[in-house]
Amino acid sequence: MNHQPFENWIFEERPLPPDQEQNLNQHLEECKTCKASQHAWLSLQEEMKHSEMVSPIPGFSQRWLISLTERRLREQRRQAKKFVLFLLGAASLSLILLIGLMIMDQSPLEWVIGSLHTIALVTIRFKQIQLVIYSILKSLPPFVPVIAWVVFILPLGLLSITWIGALWRISMQGVSEK
Ligand SMILES: [Zn+2]
């Protein structure tokens, strides 16, 4: 069977003139091959229409994802900038401190380390003393006579004073030894 010009007419995108369309319909009723071709062509067109409708959505989501990534990157960059600024600030502050101390004609590193060491030790010891006293006070029944309190607290107080004094002396020696 000759399928021309019907095959061309099937794949024609523009609407056919009425006489051609009539001829085509007539041929399609008789010819299974052209009927199948027409069916395939129509379903393909349907799919294309559908994908045209759907395609903006993936594109949109992709754009949205890209913008999200960009926003995240921008945020990260901003945070990194903040961190760098913080580091620069800390560095320049310590530099100023060091220069100031050098101008004051002291051993700056020793001075800084010594003072930090003393502060840290005193703080730790003070916290420990506080904890010890607190735990003793908690464990003591409230009806313990005042004399017992004094007996407990006086040595502790003396001990802590000795501690602090010893620490102070040690840290001062550590600095002055230089
Ligand atoms: Zn045919």
pLDDT at 178 over 50: no
Per-domain residue ranges of the chain: 6-54, 107-178
133 contacts: CB under 8 Å, gap ≥ 6:
153, 156
Which tops the pLDDT comparison, 142 or 111? 111
Give the distance (Å) from ligand 1 centre to CA of residue 29. 9
Contacts (Cβ under 8 Å, ≥6 apart) of 102? 108
Chain position carrying tokens 């020793």: 110
| Ligand 1 center from residue 34 Cα (angstroms) | 4
What's this model's pTM, rounded to 2 decimal places?
Answer: 0.30
pLDDT in tens, 135-154: 776 776 665 666 666 777 77
Q: Any idea which of 5-9, 122-126, 132-136, 137-141 has the lowest mean pLDDT?
A: 137-141
| Ligand 1 midpoint to CA 24 (Å) | 9
Ligand 1 center to 39 CA (angstroms): 13
CA of 32 from ligand 1 middle (Å) equals 7
Report residue 145 as tokens.
């006579």
Burial level of 27, CB count in 10 A (0-12/13-18/19+)? buried
Reported as a pLDDT band with limits 50, 70 and 90, residue 1 is low
C-alpha 2 – ligand 1 centre gap (Å): 6
From the DSSP assignment, how many helices (H) and strands (E) are in the chain? Answer: 6, 0
Instruction: Calculate mean pLDDT across residues 79-101.
Output: 78
The answer to whether 156 touches 133, Cβ cutoff 8 Å, is yes
